[in-house]
């Protein structure tokens, strides 16, 4: 399918969707205002949260706070997950020792850690960072590990024959060779991080996009629910886009990344 | 990698060492009181609680009863996701216009975490069965749709040409050419969907539900009963693993029957 046709179809669909939305809510009232907001109600909610604020802050405050938590949990997960993945990819003993523990922890979905995190760290930021870390940690370990395992033996043997010191080996051979897989892991981690954060904020928090959703649900305020959902979508899209820019920059040498 | 592969004995020895270290640190932290016992029970304490909950009710039901009500919602959500997602995916793979219209919508919805549907789910379908089912649906639907769509799009063109030459209609082409050819892709999608659906169920039960394992965990959290929270985590982990094993087995069975794997 050609790109032009795709883009054109995208705009047409969007226009159709907006018309459909007007039609069902404002013009005919088939969908009642208590179930789904009309475009006007949505706009009013958006203006309200942008200017006067809602659920304890303006939209920018909530969005920024969520973004900060995701970034922090994500970075901690990458900073711990990638080295661990490199290590167990490299050392068969480390793999054998860590694998059983990993097999026990892995089937527990990140969302199931939320009650424990709240019990341990309360409703503040620390608990959110902990669950995001858990959610993003596993994909980054697994993908880094598989990335290391794809390196061809001759490369490793050549480096060893030349007596490359360990730190140079990790930085100049192991990490670049595993980089494409590391980025695959990061993309999965990022998605997991957003899902987990929204869930954690819905369970309990003071500021954040999830709080907007939660308060709007309690107030039975469909316009604000829609604002919250769209904010989650926009933030998810923006961070994914940012990560793909970084990936293109870092992996410029890799043809596979230029698909 | 570094050196030769380990022998079976070495693998087991290192594995045991890792497990003992993990459980040792956990037990030491708990017994020494470095972390208050109330917040970190010993591994044995958690297992005892697990066994206890098999027969003693907590938050209105025993663990098996909570699991049963979780499974009931889970199965409804999954069935709905498969029954809507797979046919829609096949239709999108066949009718170009439908693809053009729906693809941009799903492309946009992809970025909204399924759990963000909770407020609308609660508003539209309540917090009993309908709300959680919709969240599971939101989590499990995309892989069902996408894999059926991809399967249908990448069917060998010769098969389609052959069937068109014979004058096969739309419905029959979809049912008798696209569907069978996409089965491997659809089954793979269902397995991914099962995992995501299970995740979403846990999330939904933490937020809106009056029964189920997730609900039990939230109640335990409110009562500061750490062993019960951990029991819930273990139960969710084991159940999720069983679902995955079962589906992997089913997938292998289907692929083997179709002669795709020797």
pLDDT 10s digits, B110-123: 889 889 999 999 99
**A19 in contact with chain B, both atoms CB, cutoff 8 A:** no
Tokens of A30: 């088939």
B48-257: CATH homologous superfamily?
MetI-like (1.10.3720.10)
> Measured between beta carbons, which residues in chain B are less than 8 angstroms from residue A35?
123-124
What torsion do the CA atoms of A208, A209, A210, A215 make, to the nearest 10 degrees? 90
CB B66 within 8 A of CB B211: yes
Is B54:B63 a contact under the CB 8 Å cutoff? yes
A203 — contact with chain B (CB < 8 Å)? yes
Instruction: Find residues 44-83 of chain A whose CB sits inside 8 Å of chain B.
Output: none
What pLDDT score was predicted for residue A30? 84
The count of other CB atoms within 10 Å of the CB of residue A48 is: 17
pLDDT band of residue A259 (cuts 50, 70, 90) is very low
**What pLDDT score does A13 carry?**
86
- Chain A residues with beta carbon closer than 8 angstroms to that of B101: 9, 12-13, 16
pTM attached to this predicted model:
0.87
> What is the residue-wise DSSP string for B152-203?
HHTS-HHHHHHHHHTT--HHHHIIIIIHHHHHHHHHHHHHHHHHHHHHHHHH
For residue B199, list chain A residues with Cβ-Cβ distance below 8 A.
109-111, 195
3-state helix, strand, coil split of chain A in percent (to 5) is: 80, 0, 20
pLDDT at B6: 82
Q: How confident is the model at residue A258 (pLDDT cuts 50, 70, 90)?
A: very low
Q: Please state which of the ranges A165-169, B222-226, B231-235 shows the lowest mean pLDDT.
A: A165-169
Å between A55 CA and nearest CA of chain B: 15
Inter-chain touch A96–B103, beta carbons under 8 Å: no
pLDDT value for A214: 92
Contacts of B102 in chain A (CB under 8 A): 13
Nearest of B218, B227, B193 to residue B42 by alpha carbon: B227
Residue of A nearest to B213 (CA): A112
A to B CB pairs, distance under 8 Å = 172
A99–B236 C-beta distance less than 8 A: no
Of all residues in chain B, the one with the smallest CA distance to A3 is B100
* The domain over range A37-258 is classified in CATH as 1.10.3720.10: yes
pLDDT tens figures, A26-67: 888 888 888 899 999 999 999 999 999 898 889 999 999 999
Distance in Å from the first CA to the final CA of chain B: 29
Cα–Cα dist B79/B77, whole Å: 6
Q: How many helices (H) and strands (E) does chain B have?
A: 11, 0
Domain layout of chain B by residue ranges: 8-37, 48-257
Task: Tell me if chain B has a CB within 8 Å of the CB of A30.
Answer: no
Which among A97, A115, A240 is the nearest to B206, CB-wise?
Answer: A115
Is residue A257 predicted with pLDDT exceeding 50? no
Q: Measure CA A111 to chain center.
A: 14
Which residues of A are less than 8 Å from B18 in CB distance? 96-101
Determine the distance in angstroms separating the CA of B42 from the nearest CA of chain A, rounded to an integer.
Answer: 15
Does A116 contact B117 at a Cβ distance shorter than 8 Å?
Answer: no
Confidence of residue A255 (pLDDT cuts 50, 70, 90): low
> What is the C-alpha separation between B104 and B111, in angstroms, rounded?
12
pLDDT in tens, A206-239: 899 999 999 999 999 999 999 999 999 999 999 9
């Amino acid at each position: 399918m050609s790109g032009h046709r795709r883009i054109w179809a995208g705009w047409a669909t969007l226009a159709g969707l907006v018309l459909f939305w007007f039609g069902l809510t404002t013009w005919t009232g088939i969908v009642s205002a208590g179930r789904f907001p009309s475009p006007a109600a949505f706009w009013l909610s958006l203006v309200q949260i942008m200017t006067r604020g809602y659920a304890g802050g303006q939209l920018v405050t909530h969005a920024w706070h969520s973004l900060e938590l995701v970034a922090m949990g994500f970075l901690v997960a990458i900073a711990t997950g990638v080295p661990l993945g490199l290590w167990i990819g490299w050392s068969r003993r480390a793999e054998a020792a860590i694998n059983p523990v990993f097999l026990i922890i892995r089937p527990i979905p990140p969302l199931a850690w939320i009650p424990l995190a709240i019990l341990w760290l309360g409703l503040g930021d620390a608990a959110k960072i902990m669950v995001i870390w858990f959610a993003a940690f596993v994909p980054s370990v697994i993908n880094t590990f598989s990335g290391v395992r794809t390196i061809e033996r001759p490369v490793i043997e050549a480096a060893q024959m030349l007596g490359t010191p360990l730190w140079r080996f990790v930085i100049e051979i192991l990490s670049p060779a595993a980089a494409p897989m590391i980025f695959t892991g990061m993309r999965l981690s990022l998605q997991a991080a957003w899902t987990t954060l929204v869930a954690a904020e819905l369970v309990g928090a003071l500021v954040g996009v999830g709080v907007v959703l939660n308060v709007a649900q309690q107030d039975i305020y469909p316009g604000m629910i829609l604002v919250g959902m769209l904010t989650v979508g926009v933030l998810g899209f923006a961070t994914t886009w940012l990560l793909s820019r970084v990936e293109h920059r870092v992996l410029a040498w890799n043809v596979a990344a230029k698909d | 990698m570094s050196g030769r592969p380990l022998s079976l004995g070495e693998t087991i020895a290192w594995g045991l060492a890792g497990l003992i270290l993990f459980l040792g640190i956990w037990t030491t932290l708990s017994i020494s009181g470095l972390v208050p016992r109330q917040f970190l029970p010993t591994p044995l304490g958690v297992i005892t609680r697990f066994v206890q909950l098999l027969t003693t009710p907590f938050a209105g039901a025993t663990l098996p009863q909570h699991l049963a009500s979780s499974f009931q919602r889970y199965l409804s959500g999954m069935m709905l996701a498969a029954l809507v997602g797979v046919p829609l995916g096949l239709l999108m793979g066949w009718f170009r216009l439908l693809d053009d219209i729906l693809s941009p919508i799903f492309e946009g919805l992809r970025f909204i975490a399924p759990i963000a549907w909770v407020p609308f789910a609660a508003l539209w379908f309540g917090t009993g069965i309908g709300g959680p089912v919709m969240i599971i649906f939101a989590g499990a639907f995309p892989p069902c749709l996408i894999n059926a769509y991809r399967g249908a799009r990448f069917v060998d063109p010769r098969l389609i040409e052959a069937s068109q030459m014979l004058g096969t209609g739309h419905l029959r082409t979809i049912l008798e050419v696209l569907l069978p050819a996409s089965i491997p892709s659809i089954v793979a999608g269902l397995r991914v969907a099962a995992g995501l659906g299970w995740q979403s169920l846990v999330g939904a039960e933490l937020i809106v539900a009056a029964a189920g394992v997730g609900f039990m965990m939230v109640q335990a959290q409110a009562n500061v009963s750490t062993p019960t929270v951990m029991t819930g985590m273990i139960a969710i982990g084991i159940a999720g693993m069983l679902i995955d094993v079962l589906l992997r087995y089913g997938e292998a069975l289907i692929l083997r029957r179709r002669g795709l794997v020797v």
